[in-house]
Amino acid sequence: MNNFNFKNERGFAQDLDKNDPLNHYRSKFLLPQNKNGYSCVYLCGNSLGLQPNTTKQYLEEELNDWSKYGVHGHTKAKRPWLTYHLQAREGFAELTGSKECEVIAMNTLTVNLHMLMASFYRPNKKKFKILIESTAFPSDRFAAESQLRLHGFDPKNGLIEWSPRNDELHIEDLKNILDKEGENIALILIPGIQYYSGQTLPMKELCQLAKNSGIKIGLDLAHAVGNVELELHEWEPDFAAWCTYKYLNGGPGSVGGAFIHERHHGNDGSEQLLGWWSNDLSTRFEMGTTFSPAADADLWQVSNPPVFSLTPVIASLHMFQEATFKKLRKKSIQLTSYMDFLIQDTFNGQIESITPLFNRGCQLSLVIRDSSLKGKEIFYSLTEKNVIGDWREPNVIRMAPTPLYNSYEDVFEFVERLKTSIHENL
């Protein structure tokens, strides 16, 4: 992927920035500063994205509408609260390659995994196992284990793990598991991008495999949404869920998103958890005792939408729509490739990315190969130098330049400071 004729020079990085058609988006974000007032090099959008300037304005609009209308804000607010979740539909649909009727803003990620497993994990005595990857994000593992227990199964034999080889998950290994165990597996719960290694999984192929094996499949898109191309409607997972505080810049703990494929719409809701907001809008406020199911993904919405934690998501989605994902992804590939090039050119194998070259989004997961160096100390030293990334046990520094607010010079500066950190720790 390094066919960009990159140069390991600050002037070259600055030229790339000058010619970047998206460079004006950086000034639309608030960059954290250190105590001396210097903006940090922020490469942590894979963990928590930055705050767009417009977030405050959107939140103030809601606060003003609340003060102006009180309860009537449900219908009179600029963005009426009664159907507030619909404000996120177009943006979510565009970023996930879904139909608008298939996506919904609700809850938070792990809660959504549970809500969706309540519908799609319907085990019986023979077919009850859940397949995850062995290095799954702990929340996904705990969610899957607790679902097994809730249905009376022991995770010790109910949970099947697909393990990476040389830091990568290989689809052939999954096929081998399915050959042996397929008929006992009820659900595959798998990420779109693996949080530790940054590997993008072959989601289309995984969905096809699951479908051919008669197994339900759900995708955790925490690290994929707003990062890589998704075509959920076409790939046909049964469900997917994501958070919005990473690449979607929705703020800490912001409302998550969910996808339920259209083929599951139109049911009576008898196989899932329900609430009054799952009821069709036309009869929701009749306050009757008969449930009338919403016809689309809204059926999975249980409560009324948490307006204030959804507002920043809406502000951010509007920015994504304006910038267009196609342009963002194009820059992202170049930005991450530049970081990869600088790491290779500067460190000559002393530090390496374990993120697969052709299957990746923004993030590179860096491992210190030089045994005389301690990764965690290098990471802390970088943090002191006002570079923000994150450390994941046991030994990875994750750095994710994002195309909306990161520059090529950020990437260059990060590698310069990494060089200094390494010299200091030798």
Ligand X SMILES: Cc1ncc(COP(=O)(O)O)c(C=O)c1O
- Residues 220-239, mask of contacts with ligand X (x by CB under 6 A): x-xx----------------
In this structure, the number of other CB atoms found within 10 A of the CB of residue 172 comes to: 7
Q: Which of 87, 110, 119, 353: binder of ligand X (CB under 6 A)?
A: 110
User: H or E stretch including 71?
Assistant: none
Regarding 139 and contact with ligand X (CB under 6 A), the answer is yes
Q: Which stretch binds ligand X (CB under 6 A): 105-113, 155-163, 205-213, 302-310?
A: 105-113
- Reduced to 3 states, what is the DSSP secondary structure of residue 137? coil
**Mind giving me the DSSP string for 227-282?**
TS---HHHH--SEEEE-SSSTT---TT---EEEE-GGGTT--STTS---GGGB-HH
Regarding 219 and contact with ligand X (CB under 6 A), the answer is no
**Contact between residue 66 and residue 58 where contact means Cβ atoms under 8 Å apart:** no
Regarding 206 and contact with ligand X (CB under 6 A), the answer is no
Q: Which of 62, 65, 140, 238: binder of ligand X (CB under 6 A)?
A: 140
Regarding 338 and contact with ligand X (CB under 6 A), the answer is no
| Distance (Å, whole) CA 259 – CA 267 | 16
Binding positions for ligand X, 158-197, rule CB under 6 A: 191, 195
Q: How many residues belong to the chain?
A: 426
Regarding 109 and contact with ligand X (CB under 6 A), the answer is yes
- Looking at 128-256, list the stretches that DSSP marks H as alpha helix, in order from N- to C-terminal side: 138-150, 155-158, 171-181, 203-212, 232-235
- In the complex, minimum distance from the CB of residue 110 to ligand X, in angstroms, rounded to a whole number: 3
Q: Which of 55, 87, 108, 363: binder of ligand X (CB under 6 A)?
A: 108
Q: Which stretch binds ligand X (CB under 6 A): 134-142, 265-273, 278-286, 304-312?
A: 134-142
| Distance (Å, whole) CA 318 – CA 55 | 11
> How many residues line the site for ligand X (CB under 6 A)?
12
Nearest CA to 402 among 112, 6, 20, 10? 20
Q: Which is nearer to ligand X, 322 or 393 (CB)?
A: 393
- In the complex, minimum distance from the CB of residue 254 to ligand X, in angstroms, rounded to a whole number: 9
Q: Which is nearer to ligand X, 129 or 223 (CB)?
A: 223
Residues that bind ligand X (CB under 6 A): 108-110, 137, 139-140, 191, 195, 220, 222-223, 243
